[in-house]
Amino acid sequence: MEAGGRLRVRSALNPILWLCGIISAPAIISCAVIGQPPTWLIVLAGAPIGTAIIGFLFLLLFDRDKLQSEEYQIKKLQLEIIEEKGKPPIDVSAIDIQTLEAEPLPLLEGGGTEE
């Protein structure tokens, strides 16, 4: 684990995927154990899964960035801000938040003071 690091992916679908695991998994197991499961239990098992599929397809078609991790979104936004300021684009893997925060602001022409 030390050599490989820890993989964290946080996207817009994470809450519904947790809901699938917390609600759908036990409901599906209950449906398998019960001979004739009630209709509400089948709907309860399928609702989070259907919502996750619909949510994924919606985000895939309309807002792909939400399917990326939070770290990816932050780095992409940082790159866009840097490019807007007129600096040349830099390698995404070389971005460090502390380095960006510690970077000095450019001085205004004429010694940095306005009169």
Whether residues 16 and 53 fall in one domain:
yes
Whether residues 56 and 76 fall in one domain:
no
Whether residues 51 and 76 fall in one domain:
no
DSSP string, 12-55: TTHHHHHHIIIIIHHHHHHHHHSSS--HHHHHHHHHHHHHHHHH
Give the Cα separation of 60 and 52 in Å (integer): 12
Is 113 contained in some domain?
no
Is 2 contained in some domain?
no
6: left (phi over 0), alpha (psi -120 to 50) or beta: beta
Structural domain including 90 reads 70-103
Report pLDDT digits (tens) over 2-29: 555 565 666 777 888 888 889 999 999 9
Is 110 contained in some domain?
no
Report pLDDT digits (tens) over 52-99: 899 888 888 887 777 777 777 788 888 888 877 766 655 656 656 555
Is 22 contained in some domain?
yes
pTM: 0.53
C-beta of residue 89 within 8 angstroms of C-beta of residue 83: yes
Give the total residue count for the chain: 115
Whether residues 14 and 61 fall in one domain:
yes
